[in-house]
Amino acid sequence: MVQLRQTVEWLARHEASCLVQVETWMVRSLPVPLGVLAEVWPDESWQRALRDLVVRPLASAADPSSTGEVGLLRAVDREKGIGLVTLDGDTVFVPARAVVVPHPVLLADLDELREFVADLQVEQAVSQLFREIAPRPAGLRARDTSVSDWANGEFAQLRHLTGRATSQGYAVRGGYACLRIWEDGHALDARYWLGSDDPESPAWTGELGWVDEQSRPVPLTGIGPVAWSEGARMAARIHAGRKTDDEDA
């Protein structure tokens, strides 16, 4: 009985780790070699995490610019390549050396893809097409290093606010909710101000900004689309837990 329970627990941890790894590939839009996919595909947990994700085949893992048509991942074969369901509804094998799992903010035909998977009644284990995204707005100024779109969210106590951040999977350091994002080979940290007072005192959210690896503020005009979207997603998810007028009534 103990051995069975340990096996079940191991399987649950394994499935969770597969989901986390695949989400990392997506958020970073990392090229994944065909050999890696072929090695893990027979594993049910890996296959569940990968199946029906929108992927773009690459002719070379070293050249992400050499891209092909996107489609839903349905099969992996070392000889044939990547099995896809295309937007035309065709199932095809595409020769590839690697694939990219694009971040949804980078998909120009995102609305069409959402309609497509809804028609097929497809559910993705890793939220890709229906992940919350925030396109970078136009008209940003180079002198600005933060945005206040999610500021002034009121929480009864600071510990509720920090608890909200950690429950959503974000680190809290120095009064900020923090998220490291890799884009185009560079790391940025999105930081959303929560506060650093008494944990039981009232708290209000502050501004969202991005810093480089030396903790220097980065101008908003220098933030890439993925870093912007993921930082805004973090702030929006935390801000959503604020007090509402109904709670005050």
Same domain, 82 and 171: no
Same domain, 113 and 11: yes
Same domain, 162 and 83: no
pLDDT band at 184 (very low <50, low <70, confident <90, very high): confident
Same domain, 159 and 97: no
Domain count within the chain: 2
Residue with tokens 């939220």: 127
pLDDT digits (tens, 9 = 90+) for 192-205: 999 999 999 999 99
Give yes or no for residue 247 having a pLDDT over 70: no
Same domain, 100 and 49: yes
Task: Classify residue 229: in a domain, yes or no.
Answer: yes
Domain boundary among 74, 104, 120: 120
Give yes or no for residue 68 having a pLDDT over 80: no
Angle between helices 225-239 and 2-28 (to 10 degrees): 130
Task: Classify residue 137: in a domain, yes or no.
Answer: no
pLDDT band at 249 (very low <50, low <70, confident <90, very high): very low
Query: What pLDDT, on the 0 to 100 scale, is given for residue 77?
Result: 94
Give yes or no for residue 117 having a pLDDT over 90: yes
Dist CA 151 CA 232 (whole Å): 12
Average pLDDT of the chain is 92
Owning domain of residue 48: 2-120
What share of the chain has pLDDT > 90, as a percent? 80
Same domain, 81 and 167: no
Same domain, 105 and 165: no
Task: Classify residue 183: in a domain, yes or no.
Answer: yes
Query: What pLDDT, on the 0 to 100 scale, is given for residue 6?
Result: 74
Same domain, 9 and 59: yes
Residue with tokens 């995490």: 49
Same domain, 180 and 102: no
Give yes or no for residue 135 having a pLDDT over 90: yes
Give yes or no for residue 62 having a pLDDT over 70: no
pLDDT band at 38 (very low <50, low <70, confident <90, very high): very high
Same domain, 150 and 116: no
Q: Cα–Cα distances in Å, from 70 out to 65, 81, 93, 102, 117?
A: 13, 14, 12, 9, 13
Task: Classify residue 225: in a domain, yes or no.
Answer: yes
Partnered with residue 179 across adjacent β-strands are: 190
Task: Classify residue 62: in a domain, yes or no.
Answer: yes
pLDDT band at 18 (very low <50, low <70, confident <90, very high): very high
